[in-house]
Structures are given as C-alpha cells and as structure tokens.
Amino acid sequence: MIRFGIVGGGLMGHGIAVALAEAGFGVVVHDPDPATLASLGERVEQALERGGTSPDDARIVAQRVTAARTLAALADCSDIVVEAVPERLEVKHVVLAALEERVSAVTPVWSNTSVLSLTEVAEGMRHPQRLVGVHWWNPPYVIPLVEVAPGRETDHRFVQEACDVLDGLGRTTVRLGRDVPGFIGNRLQFALVREALYLLEQGVCDAKTIDTVMRASLALRWPAVGPMENADFIGLELTKDILDSLAPHLSARTGGFPVLDALIGAGHRGRVTGAGLLPWPKGRDEDVARRLDAGIRDNLASLRNTRSA
C-alpha cells in the first residue's frame, strides 16, 4: 500500500492526512513547528469525530497518522509526498529543494498550492517532471473535489498516477489540460468574490446581503445544476443576451481592492481580529466551523439522493 508523506501539518496538511487515513493509508506528517506537530494526533481525532466517527474508531484511524520531526524521517518512509506549506513561492522553493535532497528522483510530489502557477512552483527543482498540482478543498475529508494539473515540465505519467490514486480513494477528481493559476474552482470563486467587493464599493448593498443572496439562491441551485448545464437549460441565446448587457457592468479590476485595503488598514482582518466584512462576536467562529462541516456533509447526503448525469 502507498505510504504518504505530508510536508506541512497545518489546516490542509492535517486535513489531507485525515482523508488519507480514513481511506486506510499510512501517513507521516512533518512540520517544523513543534506545537503543530504535537497537536497533530488530537486534531486528526477531532476532525474524525466531527464527521461522526466514534472516539474509539477515531483513535484507531488516527494511529495511521504519525509525526516526523525531520524531513529526512518523512522522506525515508514516503512513496508520495504532499506539499502543504504556506502559499508563498519562496517557502515552497526552499521546501522542495530540501525534499529533493532526500527522496528518489522518481518520488511523486503533489503540491497543494491554491493559486500559484505550478510551473513557477517547480522552478529550481532538479526533477520538475514529478511535480503535480493536486488541489484539495477545505475540509479535505469532507469536500470530494480534488483538482489535478501539470506544470509545464510535468511528465503526464505522474498526472495520470495522481488521478488514478485519487479515483481509487473515491474522490471527485478533475484533470486540467494545462497549468493555470487558481485551477478551476478558485478562479470561479474569486471571480465571484471580486464582483461582491465591487458591489460593496458601489454602495449597492452590505456584506451580509451578499451572503443572503448567495445562500438563498445560487448556493441552492449549483449543487444540483452547474452553471454550464444551467446556461444550456435556459438557452444559449438568453445566456448571450444577458452577458451582452451585463458584462460591461461587471468588475474587471486586476488589482487594488479599496474595500479590503480600508478594512485591513483599520486592523479589521476578519475572524482573527473580531471584525472584517462582517462583525465576528464571540462564538461566531465556532458556529461557522460547525456549519461548514455539518452543512457540507448534509448537502452531500442530500445530493446522493438527487444525483444524475
């Protein structure tokens, strides 16, 4: 059975470990932060229990996840390495260089970058053909999608292998034809976030209203019928007429987001500071974490009953 090594045991690293351990794989996780490493087992068990696994079973599954204090210890026992370190190119380059010193030339390396170009992530690698973009969504043990993409130098056999392994895990795997920053999902997501910020800036509505509109309309439709199927369903002439009228009014901004600049400048950085686009009174973060986890699981369960094509 494949043994996975995960470099970076933060939010995504521990979440991917949970997904792999639940599927029966052994996982070793390395993180330079002692506190992150020390809390790994507990965080894995908590994630499993949130998903309904009994405490006894969670303990058994969590035993498949072990902590490695050094990168060398991880490299020694990994058939596939997952990179889940912070989203900064220079950090990824340092980690990949250190990793390549310690693993064989053919060990696959999966980068969990959200929006960086895979080609740029692979720059400086001795064996860039082994780097594959494998983008999991948070929480990885709940959301089924994994996007797989090559960098310019990636050997397509590594891409195929990643897709096969992920399919075997029961993931919804999509394969991109080429390297694009943001894969598919984050491009769609941030096109929407850009437009939402533009609406705020134009004084059309407040942030709460944007979430209300989304959750009471599009969020209900999209799990059942995606935007492409819906475009066909309403007819492509109507889709084109709407776009011809609307597209000139949509944000096409490529940088500088005054709403965010003002909030960040005032020290309002969201959940962590108690205020952001919305107020974050005590308890809101636990409530959002619970809704994220339980709400997505409920949606998945109901989707299984309605799925077609």
Ligand X SMILES: NC(=O)c1ccc[n+]([C@@H]2O[C@H](COP(=O)([O-])OP(=O)(O)OC[C@H]3O[C@@H](n4cnc5c(N)ncnc54)[C@H](O)[C@@H]3O)[C@@H](O)[C@H]2O)c1
Which string of x and - marks every residue 132-171 that binds ligand X (by CB under 6 A)?
A: ----xxx---------------------------------
Nearest approach, Cβ of residue 102 and ligand X (Å): 12
> Which of these ranges, 85-93, 144-152, 240-248, 274-282, lies near ligand X under the rule CB under 6 A?
85-93
41 interacts with ligand X by CB under 6 A: no
> Which of these ranges, 5-13, 162-170, 215-223, 226-234, lies near ligand X under the rule CB under 6 A?
5-13
Residue number with CB closer to ligand X (30 or 50): 30
Nearest approach, Cβ of residue 136 and ligand X (Å): 6
Residue number with CB closer to ligand X (62 or 67): 67
**Location of structure tokens 């990885």:** 140
> Which of these ranges, 10-18, 126-134, 154-162, 195-203, lies near ligand X under the rule CB under 6 A?
10-18
State which of residues 42, 69, 70, 87 lies at the interface with ligand X (CB under 6 A): 87
> Which of these ranges, 32-40, 147-155, 223-231, 240-248, lies near ligand X under the rule CB under 6 A?
32-40
| Chain residue whose CB lies nearest ligand X | 10
Pick the closest to residue 223 from 295, 284, 272 (CA basis): 295
Using omega within 30 degrees of 0 as the cis cutoff, is the peptide bond preceding 55 cis? no
11 interacts with ligand X by CB under 6 A: yes
Burial class (CB in 10 A: 0-12, 13-18, 19+), 181: middle
> Which of these ranges, 42-50, 88-96, 152-160, 246-254, lies near ligand X under the rule CB under 6 A?
88-96
Answer left, alpha or beta for residue 289, where phi above 0 means left and psi between -120 and 50 means alpha: alpha
Binders of ligand X among residues 97 to 126 (CB under 6 A) are 112-114
Pick the closest to residue 96 from 64, 67, 133, 65 (CA basis): 133
Q: Are 158 and 132 in contact (CB under 8 A)?
A: yes
Residue number with CB closer to ligand X (184 or 199): 184
Residue number with CB closer to ligand X (44 or 95): 95
Q: Are 40 and 68 in contact (CB under 8 A)?
A: no
> Which of these ranges, 87-95, 119-127, 165-173, 257-265, lies near ligand X under the rule CB under 6 A?
87-95
| CA atoms within 13 A of residue 232's CA, in its CB half-sphere | 4
| CA atoms within 13 A of residue 104's CA, in its CB half-sphere | 8
State which of residues 5, 6, 9, 100 lies at the interface with ligand X (CB under 6 A): 9
From residue 129, alpha-carbon distances to 6, 153, 228, 232 in Å are 19, 5, 33, 38
42 interacts with ligand X by CB under 6 A: no
Residue number with CB closer to ligand X (81 or 198): 81
From residue 285, alpha-carbon distances to 93, 210, 281, 282, 293 in Å are 33, 19, 8, 7, 12
39 interacts with ligand X by CB under 6 A: no
**Residues that bind ligand X in the complex, under the rule CB under 6 A:** 7-13, 30-33, 36, 84-87, 91, 94-95, 112-114, 136-138
